[in-house]
Amino acid sequence: MPWRDRQMNGCFTFEMCCMFDGKLGERCWTAASFFTFERCCALAIDSDNQRHIPYWHSKQVLVKLRSSAGTEGSILKLHQDVPGTFEGEWQIYQPDRVPLVLWESGYMMMRWMEERAIASSMFRGRRVLELGAGIGLAAILATLHGAIVVATDASGEAVQLIRRNINTNLDSGQAAKIHPLRLDWTGIIGGSDLDPDVGPMSRKALARQRLNDAGVTGNFDIVVCAALGYVEVLTFHSLLGILDLTTDKDTTVLWGAGKEATIHLNRSWNHDEKAVALAKAFKIVTELGDDRPPHLNLYELRRRASWREAPVFARTKKRTSVQIGMIVIFRDVAGKRGRIIFYIAVAWGVRISTENRRHVLETHGHEV
């Protein structure tokens, strides 16, 4: 009986056969059967197992790669850190546990990368940086397609999982081309020892030195960011600082927008602070389009020529002084001199209006 007929007749369901690494579904599998755990429970293009992500119930996720050159695609076996009990489902949503599980946005990013790698060999021989690599699926996929990869995450436990998944899925030659590293964005960009009075060039040079010391050097051909928009605003600005230090005008940034709470870059003016900052820095080249769940999207971004540096490196003392000076003038002027207030307000409004106009144009894809 075909697999889908078996499923419709109640002979096979994911819940009955695949959960808890198949241990509860041992009755589903026989050695001589076409229906094996690997064949039926893997995340694959021709299955709907994706709807069960995240696999809070299994310590291993199977991902079937696309077939190429007439051969059947191989299966990646990815370890993740989950409680593996019915009572433990909620634990994967705790902030320190999020990087230790494969999420739908990360899986979608890997599939988009795989499709483009097969169509255009976009990763072969390229330097790739992944920020927030989690358990390492996208980084491993890029390595399999010929890239030299630096896979980073702020979680030391996630980096350990990446190493374990590299050893499980790659041979020694492939493993030599991927380097898992722990990378704390806020520690690199905004460390407590960073003197706020130091000039922006010195601050940027110090951050670059820290990044180099961490093992991330130079600009990359491709930077992968799957669903990083959910982080706090200050952390997000540190992420922009990392992107400033690792990209140039030729770098391709693959950006994944996750659940509704993250940045969607929908070209509308109704953005939050993080989306505004990202839209000022990068422009959309292409996006995944309609072949996706409604709550997820993927974008190819390029750095804007008008974006000179991340806000964390920008000089702020001068603007603060101007604002303080305006406050003093508003407080001191009176009587006939009150007209000065009006002229200052108009001048300042023109400046703000010009900046807003620039951002509107940039947001809608116009280079300025």
Give the separation between CA 148 and CA 161, rounded to whole angstroms: 19
Quickly state the pLDDT bin for 11 (edges 50, 70, 90): low
Query: Mean pLDDT of all residues in the chain?
Result: 79
φ/ψ of 118, rounded to 5, equals: -70, -40
Q: Residue 342 has what DSSP assignment?
A: H
The 10 Å Cβ neighbour count of residue 326 is: 14
So what's the pLDDT on residue 348?
Answer: 45
The C-alpha angle with vertex 271 and arms to 265 and 275, in degrees rounded to 5, equals: 55
The pLDDT tens digits for 250-302 are 999 999 876 554 565 554 444 578 888 999 999 999 987 666 777 788 899 99
Average pLDDT, integer, range 227-248 = 92
Contact 365, 267 (CB under 8 A): yes
The 10 Å Cβ neighbour count of residue 319 is: 10
So what's the pLDDT on residue 4?
Answer: 57
Assess whether pLDDT exceeds 90 at residue 361: no
So what's the pLDDT on residue 46?
Answer: 81
So what's the pLDDT on residue 18?
Answer: 87
Assess whether pLDDT exceeds 90 at residue 16: no
- Per-residue tokens: 17: 């056969």
Express as a percent the part of the chain with pLDDT over 90.
47
φ/ψ of 126, rounded to 5, equals: -95, 150
The pLDDT tens digits for 100-113 are 999 999 999 999 99
SS3 call for 323? helix
Give the separation between CA 223 and CA 131, rounded to whole angstroms: 7
Assess whether pLDDT exceeds 60 at residue 306: yes
Average pLDDT, integer, range 88-103 = 88
Quickly state the pLDDT bin for 20 (edges 50, 70, 90): confident
Look up residue 146 and give its amino acid: G
So what's the pLDDT on residue 276?
Answer: 86
φ/ψ of 228, rounded to 5, equals: -100, 0
Assess whether pLDDT exceeds 50 at residue 189: yes
SS3 call for 258? coil
Label residue 358 exposed, middle or buried (CB < 10 Å: 0-12, 13-18, 19+).
middle
Average pLDDT, integer, range 4-25 = 71
So what's the pLDDT on residue 31?
Answer: 66
Question: At a CB cut-off of 8 Å and minimum separation 6, what does 9 contact?
Answer: 1
